[in-house]
Chains A and B, each alone.
Chain A
Amino acid sequence: MARELHLDLAIIGSGPAGLAAAVKAKQLGIKDVVVFERDERPGGILPQCIHNGFGLHKFKEELTGPEYANRYIRMAADQQVDIELDTMVLEIDKTRTLTAVSEYGGLRTYKCKSIILAMGCRERPRGAIGIPGTRPAGVFTAGQAQRMVNIEGYMPGEKIVIQGSGDVGMIMARRLTLEGAEISAVAEILPYTSGLIRNEVQCLHDFDIPLLLRHTVMEIHGDKRVEGVTLSEVDSGWNPIAGTEKFIACDTLLLSVGLIPENELSKMAGVVLDPSTGGAYVNEFLETDVPGIFSCGNVLHVNDYVDEVSTEGEIAAWGAQHRIKGKLFGEKNLIAIAGDETIGQIVPQAINGQRPVTFYIRVKRPMEKLTLRIGDVFEKKFAYARPGEMLRVSLPKKVFAEMKPALTRLNVSCEER
């Protein structure tokens, strides 16, 4: 029979969110903390992100992914955090009972006082966007290719087309070019790249890689292995424009078409998800609507900077400590946060209004010279905002002192001046 154990805190995932949460949890004095990691090494997605650009806020340096992970892995070791590698969490439920399995530990169940969800994201696969055509070998997601090249040393192809100009897509364009491949084109369905300008310059312009905006792959060709793709220009409704089809011969198609927070375990425990983020509804402690279950990092909402992900891990640990000590507020007095049609996503989605809060907001479309308003208690001006760059807005406690006592809802909106 499975052995039953007890934990103060179970953290699922040893990426930048999970590790930061574990380190903070130990610093806050939580005793029995275990991090569950399905991969053979800690760090989550970071070990395969060998490019730099991580840690500018947390460490005031520009580190590579492995270097950033290494900082937290060392801190975790210093704090004697227990990380169970090669361990898959099979199930969690609303009583916070967690079932995990590994080769050496077998099947075991833990009764947890608190659980922090830090599982990150999966990539949207070809099947989910229904690209027509044949099903040859040579179609990969960008993150899959990144793992193959950087961890395993496999070269996925020699002549490559990439769909999606998000950061992962652009970074892989550069990486594969440096390893000797030819990137025939990066196609982007939007009229602008969804990643950072810096990557557009250093990944695409530097190598003269054609960037085709408002283009998408219409069909994949090739019987056994990819032989080419047909791209087409699209209109603002993403409909293909007849007559703009171009065939590009290639042996590989990389897809960088979206990250989906990996919330299957969360759903098992009854955690309710916000369709706009794909992650849980949370309050300012990052606690979900299941008491004692917290969510942070990319599984809560896709982040732009790893430093933010780690900060969220710390907040979740702080929340878990409060929950363990019985100091958290209940469902009463929650103020719902509601964005209007200018807002794409906002986290947290509910607050108690008794402590400082940081909101993470994505606008729905690019805007310039905008004023962000939260209820009538807070307002901030920005020169510009893009959906690809999350806005962070911190509200000090005194803001809430000025709020009406019976307030149950705060509306959030952006207005261009």
Chain B
Amino acid sequence: MSNLQELICITCPKGCVAKVWKEKGDIKIEGKICKNGKAYIKQEYIEPKRMLTSTVVVERSTVKRLPVRTREAIPKKKLFMAMNQLSEIRVKPPVKIGDVIISNLLNTGIDVIASDDLL
């Protein structure tokens, strides 16, 4: 058993706990956990990923900030770097919900999109 971790599954409010480890190249999971849970735990063990939601500075408007988010989850370890990137962004109206604000964020292949209209 190498690299044993105890992880909490968050796919439903139950919060079941599972032990995860790597054995001979295979991911092993032990604990009372359902199918959805297993998929999450496996990903969490291999590479934890998180959705990032934040805001960017708006210029030329009485609105000050535009909410944005990553289209999908990105590696957890890139969250603070992503925040730094976002702090450089300036947008101005008009922006439509879903517009791409940053394309291929930090080479993850995942875009940052506008989470609201800016009229």
Q: Do A and B bind each other?
A: yes
Distance of A415 Cα from B24 Cα, bound (Å): 47
Distance of A69 Cα from B117 Cα, bound (Å): 11
State whether B53 touches A64 (Cβ < 8 A).
yes
Chain B residue at smallest Cβ distance from A65: B67
State whether A50 touches B10 (Cβ < 8 A).
no
Q: Which of A14-62 contact B (CB under 8 A)?
A: 47, 50-52, 62
Q: CB-defined interface of A142-185 with B at 8 Å, one 1/0 digit per residue?
A: 00000001111100000000000000000000000011100000
B37 CB to closest chain A CB (Å) equals 12
Chain B residues within 8 Å of chain A by Cβ, number: 24
Q: CB-defined interface of A178-208 with B at 8 Å, one 1/0 digit per residue?
A: 1110000000000000001110111001100
State whether B53 touches A51 (Cβ < 8 A).
yes
Q: Which of A106-149 contact B (CB under 8 A)?
A: 149
State whether A52 touches B64 (Cβ < 8 A).
no
Distance of A198 Cα from B44 Cα, bound (Å): 13
Contacts A64-B115, A70-B116, A384-B14 given; indicate if A202 touches B67 (C-beta within 8 A). Answer: no
Please tell me if A227 contacts chain B, counting CB pairs below 8 Å. no
Please tell me if B38 contacts chain A, counting CB pairs below 8 Å. no
Q: Which of B51, B54, B64, B116 contacts A66 (CB 8 A)?
A: B116
Q: Which of A383-407 contact B (CB under 8 A)?
A: 383-384, 389
Please tell me if A312 contacts chain B, counting CB pairs below 8 Å. no
State whether B13 touches A153 (Cβ < 8 A).
no
State whether B80 touches A178 (Cβ < 8 A).
yes
Contacts A67-B115, A206-B76 given; indicate if A150 touches B13 (C-beta within 8 A). Answer: no
Distance of A178 Cα from B80 Cα, bound (Å): 7
Contacts A52-B69, A64-B67, A67-B97 given; indicate if A153 touches B8 (C-beta within 8 A). Answer: no
State whether B50 touches A50 (Cβ < 8 A).
no
State whether B83 touches A178 (Cβ < 8 A).
yes
State whether A178 touches B79 (Cβ < 8 A).
yes
State whether B69 touches A201 (Cβ < 8 A).
no
B68 CB to closest chain A CB (Å) equals 8
State whether A70 touches B117 (Cβ < 8 A).
yes
**Residues on B with beta carbons closer than 8 Å to the beta carbon of A153:** 55, 57, 64-65
- Total contacts A to B, CB within 8 angstroms? 71
Distance of A382 Cα from B43 Cα, bound (Å): 29
**Residues on B with beta carbons closer than 8 Å to the beta carbon of A179:** 54, 83
Distance of A200 Cα from B7 Cα, bound (Å): 12
Please tell me if B31 contacts chain A, counting CB pairs below 8 Å. no
State whether B10 touches A197 (Cβ < 8 A).
yes
A207 CB to closest chain B CB (Å) equals 9
State whether B65 touches A202 (Cβ < 8 A).
no
**Residues on A with beta carbons closer than 8 Å to the beta carbon of B13:** 196-198, 389
- In this complex, which of B53, B57, B83 has the most chain A Cβ atoms within 10 angstroms of its Cβ? B53
Distance of A202 Cα from B52 Cα, bound (Å): 11
Q: CB-defined interface of B10-27 with A at 8 Å, one 1/0 digit per residue?
A: 100111000000000000
Q: Which of A47, A64, A152, A178 contacts B69 (CB 8 A)?
A: A64
Distance of A150 Cα from B54 Cα, bound (Å): 8
Q: CB-defined interface of B27-70 with A at 8 Å, one 1/0 digit per residue?
A: 00000000000000000000000111111010000001101010
Distance of A65 Cα from B68 Cα, bound (Å): 11
Distance of A152 Cα from B65 Cα, bound (Å): 7
A52 CB to closest chain B CB (Å) equals 6
State whether B14 touches A52 (Cβ < 8 A).
no
**Residues on A with beta carbons closer than 8 Å to the beta carbon of B8:** 197, 200-201, 205
- In this complex, which of B55, B65, B67 has the most chain A Cβ atoms within 10 angstroms of its Cβ? B67
Residues of chain A having any CB pair with chain B under 8 Å: 47, 50-52, 62, 64-67, 69-70, 149-153, 178-180, 196-198, 200-202, 205-206, 383-384, 389
Can you list 18 A-B pairs with a CB-CB distance of less than 8 A?
A: A50-B53, A50-B69, A50-B115, A62-B51, A66-B116, A67-B116, A69-B116, A70-B97, A70-B116, A151-B65, A152-B64, A196-B10, A196-B13, A197-B8, A197-B10, A197-B14, A198-B10, A200-B15
Residues of chain B having any CB pair with chain A under 8 Å: 8, 10, 13-15, 50-55, 57, 64-65, 67, 69, 76, 79-80, 83, 97, 115-117
Further 7 A-B residue pairs, CB within 8 A, beyond A151-B65, A153-B65, A201-B8: A47-B116, A64-B53, A70-B97, A178-B52, A180-B83, A197-B10, A201-B10
